[in-house]
Structure 1
């Protein structure tokens, strides 16, 4: 016959630990998708051939700041995935347009140095949707496995 005080203590510990376990699984799932270059097995659109620094690196990976920005926040009863705004734009896809300030500088052109005065320029570009985070069957299955494994330990 199980000791009910111990079972209750274990259930309370599970209730306390479960949001952190779910949050860690969400973060790891997002990072795994970025490293795999896909969303639950569906490959992302390829990078443009004329993109700068195109050779030898994965999509959404340059300095690693984006990967490191993926974290979680627990607001009971929810677990929220957080990331920098650029990563969120890649996850959802975005069309960005606006103006950019250019400082005065020197440039070399046709063998001579020229002074360029400060100015503004219009910029516009599309970020294709490269989803790596969100509701997913794979993520739900992983969370279910974690929950079942931890729930079994309550009654041991």
Structure 2
């Protein structure tokens, strides 16, 4: 991770899920040990299955190599659970179904939706969240709008 507070937050989130028995850690779930990891803010790639909706790993934004996995019955439940969050930075859907792609891209409440990929954002594409995820947009033509302020001046001579 890029700083100590980010690492500490991630450790707290995973530890809270572990203490509350919110899923099964399949791999990772901790800071790696050893001389190679003494300088830096490392956390092992982590997969956790059976994560309930109320888990901090679902209800908070997790900025680190942690993937909480939850099983759902169908697309309706998946969309409901994904949208049942105060955050909406990004979402991804993995499918070969055109119908699922259409529904997911329309109904997911996120600033960006990836289909069959995740975290790739070309510099010309606006990136930013909805709800309580981020302010404004980065990248793209309109990104400069966030850093400028228009001023109108009317003069009669």
TM-score (norm 1): 0.19
TM-score (norm 2): 0.19
Question: Greater helix percent: which structure?
Answer: 1
Question: Which one has the largest radius of gyration?
Answer: 1
Larger RCO, structures 1/2 (Cα 8 Å, 6+ apart): 1
